[in-house]
Structure 1
């Protein structure tokens, strides 16, 4: 599995990408693979506040339901409606079309580099 080096990662298996004044957030390929076929996504609404380290949504697969933890604190500025309509995008393109939300962040929680995340999931 190749991890995009330009992204940052969390121990809860989310990725972050700074885009101008917002942070784009998704889940890693590792998380998508562990969940299996994702069939439902619940995300916060645009304008909602989220807090780093706290649940801000859910991913439901054919195997289980998993919380989506906010890697940043801030206001949701965009939600990927394509993923809400077709959750399988998370499995097929977790780092591209499968992104989940964008947040105008005021604080970032603990993040890892791609190398640090690779070491974490190899344990």
Structure 2
């Protein structure tokens, strides 16, 4: 089951999504496909605000009833904000992975076209998870 895939988002092969907010920042979370595979999310551990991150760094830990996994940032930059609502309601990652279940907001180090060059669009991500 592919789950929901949104247009106008970018995706990593590791099942993270990136939404360009148009101001040099992005929000990052896990895809609907990923949250289905993880099962019920019970805890999210966040990075420190202000932390510099490189693309593919682990920036958060996601605990579910089945397993513990890392959230890898698909882009390089500075952590500006975490979704504090998930501290009390981690289940939002399951119920609304693309909106209320976002995890971190990052200020991009690179220009958006460069930052997103290695990521997949919705169509390419759909093919990736069908393989």
TM-score range (shorter-chain normalised) is over 0.9
Cα deviation 1:52-108 (Å, max 9, x = unaligned):
012111100000001111111110111100112211000000001000010001142
Q: Which runs of 4+ in 1 moved over 4 A?
A: none
**Contact 2:41/2:94 (<8 A) preserved:** yes
The structure where strand makes up a greater share of residues is 1
Cα deviation 1:9-54 (Å, max 9, x = unaligned):
0001000011122011110000000000000101112111111012
Q: Does 1:25 align with 2:33?
A: no
Return the alpha-carbon distance in structure 2 between the equivalents of residues 83 and 11 of structure 1: 24
Unpaired stretches in structure 2, ≥5 consecutive residues: none
Q: Partner residue of 2:77?
A: 74
**Paired positions, count:** 123
Give TM-score, length-normalised by structure 2. 0.90
RMSD of aligned C-alpha atoms?
1.1
**What aligned pairs does 1:40-119 form with structure 2 within 5 A after superposition?**
40-107=43-110, 108=115, 110-119=118-127
Range with greater deviation from structure 2 (37-46 or 100-109):
100-109
Give TM-score, length-normalised by structure 1. 0.95
Q: Partner residue of 2:8?
A: 6
Q: CA deviation at 1:2?
A: 2.9
Return the alpha-carbon distance in structure 2 between the equivalents of residues 63 and 2 of structure 1: 21
Unpaired stretches in structure 1, ≥5 consecutive residues: none
